[in-house]
Structure 1
Amino acid sequence: MAEKANQFGQFNLKSDIISALTAIGFIQPTAVQAKLIPAVLQGHDVVGQSQTGSGKTHTFLIPIINQLEQGKNYVQAVITTPSRELAAQITKAAKQFADKLPYEVTISEFVGGTDKLRQVKQLENNQPQIIIGTPGRIKDLVSSGALKLHAVKTLVVDEADMTLDMGFLNEVDYIAGAMPEKLQTLVFSATMPEKLKPFLKKYLDNPKFEAIPVSTVIAETIDNWLLATKSKDKNDVIYQILSISNPYLALVFANTKDRAKEIASNLRSKGLKVAEIHGDIEPRERRRVMKAIQNLDYQYVVATDLAARGIDIEGVSHVINDDIPGELEFFVHRVGRTGRNGMPGLAITLYGPDEEDEVVELESLGIDFKAKQIKDNQIIDVKDRRARKQRVATTKKLDPTMVGMVKKKKKIVKPGYKRRIKSAIQRKNQMDRRISQREEMRAVRKANKKRGDA
């Protein structure tokens, strides 16, 4: 009865797979799973543009495990991911799934910062069916001859844009080059940078592309507050916010690792116990810190975008943005860390006068900021931060797929909201072009007149 009720049955998966999915609580596919699992099962190459929290991990794990040759001790699938923490999360998900099967699935995790010689020795005796790891370590094991990829059927490149950002695409290229020519390649990425396209063209054959916007990344349960810092010391402002709000778990985002270290150091000087997640934290320490965060040993976590992206930290009640991120789409990733599973969440963004364009850009997507200020050790409303002349931002446009990621509260969205915003921007651009053309024509006429007078 349970198997019939499980909606993953529509994909014609093996009965053991359906039973295992039911056992781990997977009954209904997410949007990305419903769109892409059939294509993966049919052997197509796939490009999935989907955000963290969309269910993309099981989008590739389910078909891979469903199609494994049982009892065959050779590497059948390789999953690369740009960070150790993401590799650990995928490995955990894969093993939880595989543990519910009546047969053994061998899974190994290979990441930097671990004992390479021990891994080489392990591979001498056993080639796992599924490899999950960071590109650098997998490349090292392949180049040493310890890891055999001559019979791999499926390559997964997870968080491809982050892989590109962190400079690991050459390693992935090397790994893919060690695999058979007939290879199924699955690429998952939050965004699709232009520099990623040559890799896709090289390794993917007529891929099925799906962009799955996640409408609940910024959920109705999240309040977005905006706090102008002006001439204030932001370190003091962040400490005040944390002291006043007393969060269950606060995630403070900084744009750089140096700034993250500065914020963490300042909070510690005030007597707070703070965890850091950024590129300068050693691998072993990062694993220890992540475990401590999961155990709720920390109330405050300071992180950078790349280091924290994709890491699942449960119970985040507050997100504080030290700055509006340079890449505006990261704003959506950050804020989406709170307000999950119907729980209330609060995102507080600090901004300076030079960031007004970025604020307007985010507001144009429907993010409803509430202007706040700190007064008498309380966070209170600001009457109207927009009393001054309004400007429409024309720089740092978000990826179009991000527009669908902001779930607006219906009571504040008027009919034709998006259309009117788009029309207003188009009118502004047309007006700017006309003014520029008129100025150019005046300059030409003036120059001609001067030559005539001469």
Structure 2
Amino acid sequence: MSTFAEFNLKEFLTKALSDKGFREPTDVQQRLIPVIQRGKSVVGQSQTGSGKTHTFLLPLFNSLQPDVNEVQVLVTAPSRELAEQIYQAAQQLASFSDQEIRVANYVGGTDKLRQLEKLQTQQPHVVIGTPGRILDLMNEQALKVYTARAFVVDEADMTLDMGFLADVDRIAATLPDSLQMLVFSATIPEKLKPFLKKYMDNPVIEQIKPASVISDTIDNWLMSTKGKDVNQLTYDVLTIGHPYLAIVFANTKQRVDELADYLKNQGLKVAKIHGDIQPRERKRVMKQIQNLDYQYVVATDLAARGIDIEGVSHVINVEIPNELDFFIHRVGRTGRQGMPGTAITFYEPGEEQTIAELEKLGIEFHPKDIRQHEIVDSYDRNRRTKRSKSKVELDTTMIGLVKKKQKKVKPAYKKKLKYAIAENQRKKRKIERRQEARSRRKARKQDFS
């Protein structure tokens, strides 16, 4: 069993880990912390919830020099919420240090003037933020990141998707050639590769493949919406299941608004998260969710990758995401750190193929239904296919015979048909036994030759 003691971390970091209840490093931490400690640049590809944040924070904090008053570590994240999460994790580590470690979080929607004033007198040791605000403060000649020795680009594929890679490029261009660059991403799209080649010389590339696409502590339920009101079904699932904390995912902002309003009208206290909600309001809502003021959250995929909400017991997909990767990200909000979780996916009859594609990824669904206000096991949607496969296969002659069956059946026709099929099967078995006997005799001859 591996422990964090293997990494020879400073005492304050060991205390901080103990305070968080972290005892064993995750796979990505086990592989990459020693590499980062050696000063190597890294491209780490791993799924959400794999422990990426502490993978880069621990070794970088371990080599910080608090008595040197300059920016030493720079971290960019594609969303305010993700930057806030990294900031909170960094602050927790810093709080256990005897020497002051200054950590700053710069994101859009915050007081820029106040940030500029503070930077006139003091630079932070660790800078975390969204690319746009960091670049803005740099252009004002206020934030002096050119002293940074390590640059972390977190959720690089999401940074690319949201159109922030150009800002990250401009930031990287101002940093020293000897820079240690750490790029973490769930996927490595082709459009990201030119950026990596531009700034990274022979990086260590680690692809951490999970043992399964989702945690094995997650119970995956599948519920058909055929003939049902999806809003009512969502309400029923939430109130029957009594989740500790549930996130309900929809594909669009409009659908989130509609569903959240419906659930509120049914008397539930519901928070909602999507891109049109103002940053200040989103921050307030997130704090309330973390304080467990809400038991139910309705969200777009912004919450699937950009937000880490602790203690999620249930995830409900009222719609299957257009990109199947987001299904993994959504479901990955629950069942974290070995805790049990339940993921419930609604599907329409026309979405059978999409469900089949998810099953090909290794996801096993358990069909469920609601009867008498209880969630019960339902039938396997593939039962007809499985049953037809188990039937005796007929050859072309027999198929022809069956097809000739008339609507007005002649006397004894059924008996004749049944007898013909049985006789055909008997002949087949006789041929098969003869072939098996020949094969055995041939094998014996070869053994003695």
Between 331-340 and 73-82, report the one with greater CA deviation.
Answer: 331-340
Deviation at 1:334, TM superposition (A): 1.7
Give, in angstroms, the shift of residue 100 of structure 1: 1.3
Name the structure 1 match of 2:261.
Answer: 265
Partner of 1:407: none
Moved more, 26-35 or 166-175: 26-35
Contact 1:323 / 1:349 at 8 angstroms: preserved in 2? yes
1:102 offset after TM fit, Å?
Answer: 2.1
Q: CA deviation at 1:336?
A: 2.3
- The letter for the 2-side match of 1:7 is T
Instruction: Calculate the TM-score normalised by the size of structure 2.
Output: 0.81
Please state if 1:298 is matched with 2:318: no
In the TM superposition, what is the alpha-carbon distance from 1:81 to its structure 2 partner? 0.6
Shift of 1:332: 1.9
In structure 2, the partner of 1:79 is: 75
Matched, 1:369 2:365: yes
Q: How does 1:146-295 map to 2 (within 5 A)?
A: 146-215=142-211, 218-295=214-291
Instruction: Count matched residues.
Output: 386
Deviation at 1:6, TM superposition (A): 8.9
User: Paired residue for 1:38, among 15, 34, 38?
Assistant: 34
CA contact (8 A) 1:253 1:322 kept: yes
> What is the Cα deviation at residue 184 of structure 1?
1.1
Q: Tell me, in whole angstroms, the C-alpha distance in 2 between the residues paired with 1:92 and 1:27.
A: 19
What one-letter code is carried by the residue in structure 1 that aligns with 2:293?
Answer: D
For residues 300 and 344 of structure 2, the distance between their equivalents in structure 1, rounded to whole angstroms, comes to: 16
Aligned to 1:385, the other structure's residue is in SS state coil
Percent of aligned positions with the same letter in both sequences?
61
How far the C-alpha of 1:181 sits from its partner, in A, is 2.3
Partner residue of 2:105 out of 81, 104, 109? 109
Deviations 1:167-219 (A, max 9, x none): 11111111111212221110001111111111111111111111113337733
> Moved runs in structure 1, 4+ residues, more than 6 A?
none
Q: CA deviation at 1:96?
A: 1.2
* Cα distance between partner residues in 2 of 1:297 and 1:130: 31
Q: Greater CA radius of gyration, 1 or 2?
A: 2
**Alpha carbons of 1:16 and 1:297: their partners in 2 closer, same or farther (altered >3 Å)?**
closer
Q: Deviations over 1:379-399 (max 9, x none)?
A: 333223113448xxxxxxxxx
Post-superposition offset of 1:327: 1.6
Q: Secondary structure at the match of 1:146?
A: coil
Contact 1:52–1:310 (CA<8 Å) still a contact in 2?
A: no
Secondary structure of residue in 1 paired with 2:284? helix
- 365, 375, 396: which is aligned to 1:379? 375
- The Cα shift of 1:135 comes to 0.9
8 A Cα contact 1:250 1:317, kept in partner: yes
2:129 is aligned to 133
3-state SS, counterpart of residue 123 of structure 1: helix
Q: Which residue pairs with 1:338 in the alignment?
A: 334
Q: 1:162 to 1:108 in 2, by over 3 A?
A: same
Q: Deviations over 1:293-331 (max 9, x none)?
A: 111111110111134425222222221101121221221
Give the 3-state SS of the residue equivalent to 1:145 in structure 2: coil
Q: Distance in 2 between matches of 1:90 and 1:71?
A: 23
Alignment correspondent of 1:410: none
SS at match of 1:236: helix
Q: CA deviation at 1:26?
A: 4.1
CA distance in 2, matches of 1:144, 1:19: 38
Q: Residue 333 of structure 1: CA displacement?
A: 1.9
Is 1:23–1:100's contact at 8 Å kept on the other side of the alignment?
A: no
Determine if the alignment matches structure 1 residue 70 to structure 2 residue 66. Answer: yes
Work out the CA distance in 1 between the residues paired with 2:143 and 2:225: 53
Equivalent residue of 2:133, what SS? Answer: helix
Instruction: Spell out, residue by residue over 1:217-250, the C-alpha distance to the aligned partner (whole angstroms, 9 max, x if none).
Output: 7334322111111343322221222233232221
CA distance in 2, matches of 1:108, 1:340: 28
Partner of 1:323: 319
Aligned to 1:48: 44
Distance 1:6 1:374, change over 3 A: closer
Q: Distance in 1 between matches of 2:183 and 2:190?
A: 15
Unpaired runs of 5+ in structure 2?
Answer: 387-449
Amino acid at match of 1:289: V
Amino acid at match of 2:305: R
Q: What amino acid maps onto 1:262 in structure 2?
A: E
The CA deviation at 1:17 is 4.4
- For residues 387 and 69 of structure 1, what CA distance do their matches in structure 2 show? 64
Q: Distance in 1 between matches of 2:316 and 2:40?
A: 41
Calculate the aligned-residue CA RMSD, in Å: 2.1
What's the secondary structure of 2:382's corresponding residue? helix
The alpha carbon displacement at 1:79 in A equals 0.3
Closer/same/farther in 2, CA of residues 25 and 381 from structure 1, 3 Å limit: closer
- Find the counterpart in structure 1 of residue 4 from structure 2: 8
Which residue of structure 2 aligns with residue 396 of structure 1?
none
Return the alpha-carbon distance in structure 1 between the equivalents of residues 360 and 213 of structure 2: 17
State the distance in 2 between where 1:87 and 1:38 align: 24
CA deviations on 1:126-153 (whole Å, 9 max, x unpaired) are: 1111100111111111111111122111
Distance 1:374 1:230 in 2: 13
